Amino acid sequence: MSKITQVIKRSGAIVPFNPGRISNAIYRAAVSVGGRDKERAEWLTEQVVALLEQHGSQGHIPHIEEIQDIVEGVLIENGHAQVAKEYILYREKRALTRQGSASDTTQHTGNIPWSKIWRALDWAIEHNLHTVEALNARISAGEFGAIVQESEAAYEEEVRQAAKKIAERGAELKMVIISGPSSSGKTTTTTKLEQHLKQTGLKFVPLNVDHYFYNLEMHPQDEFGDYDFETPQALDLELIDDHLQRLMRGEQVSIPFYDFKTSQRSMDQTPMQLQEDEILLIDSLHGLFPKMTSGISDEAKFKVYLEPLLQMRASDGKYIRWADLRLMRRMLRDAAHRAYDPQKTLLHWHYVRASELRYIIPYIGTTDVIINSSMPYEVSLYRPLLLERFAEWEVKYKEDPLRHDAHERALRLHKLLQDVEAVEDDSAVPSDSVLREFIGGSSLEY
């Protein structure tokens, strides 16, 4: 048993010392560069703990920065320079995020779709949906159905325009990638794009890259038993890229099968081959990550990016965060379709955000088209479904220093939903709406 029992967090809070956090951080860095040796990560952790005990005086409580400095030294001294570099880079990015730096996610602002955001803001102002107060006023005036129609029409037009751009390049394309962060509406949008494109005579063959997940035990796990399967490295990227290159050459490949009930992958399960007039259609969280399609020329790819670019100010004058919208969407979807407690979704969300900021957002600028999948009326539907839960979590995690992220999000969303006019009847929402992917009742087959 370690002599060290406590550690000081950056906030100053003193929490129990858990060597598993060190082991998990080392393994996460190793996974990022292709390593999958958990036993080695645990051995390295033992070296870190030994040095902490050796350097610290009796009763010394180490600071998290002190521990991380020792981790870096142990990695380098044991010949793991690449893992150390990845660990250092991750540590630096987390520091930038905490400082609120404008460059914390991309190192520059070129990845922010400013023109798209301004168009979304113009639309919101034109339709008097640019503030929660304005939304509430229209709902109180009995205009909820009209708001739904206006919002859905705007989204459908964006999908139609994206389909038009794809069709214009149809002769040279061999792959269409629909990407975007969690719960941005990729599944519905992929279906709708395919419907539009079939009318142009283009033929598509879907590839579900989820079947390329590694077995669950290969993913990093934290001290709460939560696995991090949000990173692109959770997928067998080398095998995906190899299969894509072979498919582009007209060869037959054998697609693996991933059983989500057992979290295990079986290799070489489904034969697949592209005909000369067929285009591969990929719906993937990490479709923009370069390593997934590095062997395919840019000319052969068309990349679509989705994000709910809602331009609506809350009562505090700040814009509603897109990630908060997606968190609520995922909570409802996970509860309805995956029997996953929304509380677990909240507690897991920091993994989702960390992965998005590192592996998705930096590549927005590489896309061919961006689709705004927000529905300005959606927050009014979420109030009756989630308000009480956020109030509960705000209290539950207030004094828990290990759940600071969950408390901050619960506090912010509880306040937002308190200010929104509630709508309990969702019958005005079309059965093929992108929101049906999350609130249920969709007429589309997923």
Give per-10-residue mean pLDDT for the chain (446 aa): 77 80 82 80 86 76 84 82 76 58 41 85 95 97 98 97 93 93 94 91 91 86 70 90 94 94 91 92 92 91 96 94 96 82 92 88 92 97 97 94 91 97 97 95 86
* Amino acid 434: pLDDT: 97
Q: What single letter denotes the amino acid at residue 189?
A: T
Which pair of tokens denotes residue 244? 């894509």
The answer to whether residues 57 and 132 belong to one domain is no
Give pairs for 158-165: CB < 8 Å, separation 24+: 158/371, 158/372, 159/189, 159/192, 159/193, 159/196, 159/371, 160/196, 161/369, 162/193, 162/304, 162/369, 162/371, 163/193, 163/196, 163/197, 163/200, 165/302, 165/368, 165/369
- Structure tokens given for 104: 């914390």
Taking each continuous run of H as one helix and of E as one strand, the counts in the chain are 14, 9
Residues 93 and 118 placed together within one structural domain of the fold = no
d(CA 121, CA 139): 20
Residue 254 lies in a domain: yes
Residue at 445 is within a domain: no
Domain assignment present for 444: no
**Do the domain assignments include residue 66?**
yes
Local structure of 277: helix, strand or coil: coil
pLDDT confidence of residue 370: 95
Say whether both 95 and 131 belong to one domain.
no
Question: Is residue 122 located within the same domain as residue 94?
Answer: no
Residues 83 and 177 in one domain: no
Contacts by 41-45 with C-beta closer than 8 Å and gap 24+?
44/74, 44/75, 44/78, 44/80, 45/19
Tally of CA atoms within 13 A in the half-sphere of 426 that contains its CB: 21
- Return the pLDDT at 66: 83
- Give pLDDT, residue 256: 96
Domain annotation covers residue 109: no
Q: Both tokens of residue 370?
A: 């961006």
Token pair for residue 3? 């002599």
Q: How many CA atoms lie within 13 A of 423 on its CB side?
A: 25
Q: Residue 26 has which token pair?
A: 């080392």
Mark which of 99, 133, 159 sits at the end of a domain: 99
> Distance between the two ends of the chain, CA-based, in angstroms?
50
15 bridge partner residues: 7
Same domain, 89 and 140: no
Q: How far apart are CA 144 and CA 161, in angstroms?
A: 26
- Which amino acid appears at position 57 of this protein? S
Domain count for the chain, please give it.
Answer: 2
- Tell whether 1 is covered by a domain: no
- What pairs with residue 281 in β-bridges? 176, 206
Of 76, 99, 122, the residue that ends a domain is 99
Q: How far apart are CA 73 and CA 92, in angstroms?
A: 16
Give the pLDDT of residue 113: 82
What are the residues facing 221 on neighbouring strands? 227
CATH code of residue 261: 3.40.50.300
Instruction: Tell me, yes or no, whether 320 lies in a domain.
Output: yes
Round to whole Å and give the CA distance between 336 and 340.
8
CA distances from 403 to 188, 234, 343, 410 (A): 33, 24, 12, 11
For residues 132 and 42, membership in a common domain is answered with no
For residue 80, the enclosing domain spans 6-99
Considering the domain boundaries, does residue 63 fall inside one?
A: yes
127-144 residues labelled b (16+ CB within 10 A) or e (exposed)? bebbbbebbbebbeeebb
Can you give the pLDDT at residue 95? Answer: 62
Position 102 scores a pLDDT of 38
Q: Are residues 55 and 125 in the same domain?
A: no
Give yes or no for a contact between 179 and 304, defined as CB atoms under 8 angstroms apart.
yes
- Shared-domain flag, residues 84 and 17: yes
The DSSP call for residue 320 is P
Please state, in angstroms and rounded to a whole number, the distance separating the CA atoms of residues 93 and 110.
17
Identify residue 315 by its one-letter amino acid code.
S
Categorise residue 79: left if φ over 0, alpha if ψ from -120 to 50, beta otherwise.
left
Are both 182 and 280 inside the same structural domain?
A: yes
Both 165 and 88 in a single domain? no
Nearest alpha carbon to residue 369 among 241, 208, 193: 193
Shared-domain flag, residues 93 and 124: no
SS3 (DSSP) at 307: strand
Here the tokens at position 265 are: 């992958």
**Domain boundary residue, one of 36, 67, 99:** 99
**What pLDDT score does 111 carry?**
67
pLDDT at 108: 39
